Amino acid sequence: MSDTDTCTGCKHCNAKTHLSYDTTTMCAKMRRGHPCMYCYLKTSREEGFRAKAIIMDDVYDGWVRRMRPGTAKRVTDTGGLRMFAFGDYLRKHAKEVEKFLADCQARQLPVKAITKVVRFVYDWHDHPAMQLINVSVDNLKAGGRSPITLKTALELRKNFRKVRIRAVALSPEDLVLFGKNKRVDVITLNHGRNGFYNFSHDERDEAAKAYPGRVCCVNSVCDGCTTLCGLNAR
């Protein structure tokens, strides 16, 4: 399925993660008119390239309960069913998140989240279904920096056992910077049409050799990835 495929009830389909849970495709930063400078959704909508539909507030319809065993195994093998591939946590959606996580717990389906919202860690870290939370940082300067700084991410990682630090490398220099910092668990190499450096497949392979076990989706998909969003990094 392509990135334009939107299922129903907070269920989204895409080529990289296969499935994701998103209550919205408009995160708080985008709603305020200040999305991340490398936002894939923003650039795809501007260019008309596999643009994701705008969904402000969705309601979870229980699709986890209907998930086929083979699909459940597939997302489990990649470290868990992903939360937030096309948006991020909004606290007003907490009831929908609670229903979703309860169904995941009932099915013994592990969940992983990738977020830039500190509140999400405090609200949901201890839920039994939550296996892993990646807090995402970047190296952009004033006006574009991630809402979670590296300092904050390190504090969260120290205090919450399920937290891992994910860094977005937007240039070869970023790759070296984050690669040398052993406290960064996962390095995501930019791969979008967003004005930043686009790492080739060969460069991904080289990065994986230089920083084994820490480079996200060397083959551009979660299936077969051994990094597992830093699951085993502690």
> Edge to edge, what strands does the sheet with 18-21 contain?
11-14, 18-21, 81-83, 111-115, 130-137, 163-169, 186-189
For residue 52, is it within any domain?
yes
User: H or E element: which one contains 19?
Assistant: strand 18-21
141/144 Cα distance (integer angstroms)? 6
Q: What's the confidence (pLDDT) of residue 135?
A: 98
For residue 117, the domain's CATH number is 3.20.20
pTM for this entry: 0.93
Residue 103's closest CA among 62, 72, 69?
A: 62
Q: What's the confidence (pLDDT) of residue 45?
A: 86
Residue 101 and residue 95 in contact, taking contact as beta carbons nearer than 8 Å: no
Domain that holds residue 121: 11-230
For residue 3, is it within any domain?
no
Segments of the chain scoring below 50 in pLDDT: 1-5
For residue 225, is it within any domain?
yes
Q: What's the confidence (pLDDT) of residue 4?
A: 39
First to last CA, the chain: 34
For residue 179, is it within any domain?
yes
Query: 61: buried, middle or exposed (CB in 10 Å: 19+, 13-18, 0-12)?
Result: middle
DSSP state of 203: H
11/26 Cα distance (integer angstroms)? 15
Q: What's the confidence (pLDDT) of residue 220?
A: 84
Supply φ then ψ for residue 55, to 5 degrees.
Answer: -125, 115
97 Cβ contact partners less than 8 Å away, ≥ 6 residues apart? 23, 60, 83, 89, 123, 124
For residue 113, is it within any domain?
yes
Q: What's the confidence (pLDDT) of residue 47?
A: 78
